[in-house]
Amino acid sequence: MEAEVDKLELMKNPVTLLKELSAIKSRYQTLYARFKPVAVEQKETKNRICATVNKTMNVIQNLQKQTALELSPLTDEEKTVADQLKSHMPDL
């Protein structure tokens, strides 16, 4: 209990608050620098996947037109997967 009171008293001190803020800012910058490349790679990967799926869908549609084939309607499971894919990748 006493430790908590001491902590609260320290937090009322503007100098202590500024030091804490500085430490938090430094930690944020370190984390940001570490994870920014991951976010960039994730976005690039998502874009490549979307492009590949779109290309594949176009190829399938062209083959259907050329061969005059019609696909059977999607099963419930296929519809669920398609919906999940669209919700994660609205660019499709």
- What is the tens place of the pLDDT at every residue in 43-74? 999 899 989 988 998 898 888 888 887 777 88
Please give the model's pTM, rounded to 2 decimal places: 0.57
Residue 17 placed within a domain: yes
Residue for token pair 């259907």: 64
Residue 88 placed within a domain: no
Taking 80 as the threshold, does the pLDDT of residue 7 lie above it?
no
Residue 85 placed within a domain: no
**Residue 44 in 3-state DSSP?**
helix
Rounded Cα distance, 45 and 17, in Å: 41
How many domains would you assign to the chain? 1
Q: Contact at 8 Å (CB) between 17 and 59? A: no
Q: Contact at 8 Å (CB) between 46 and 89? A: yes
Residue 73 placed within a domain: no
Residue for token pair 């430094």: 26
Residue 81 placed within a domain: no
The mean pLDDT value of the chain amounts to 86
Tokens found for residue 81: 């997967």
Residue 26 placed within a domain: yes
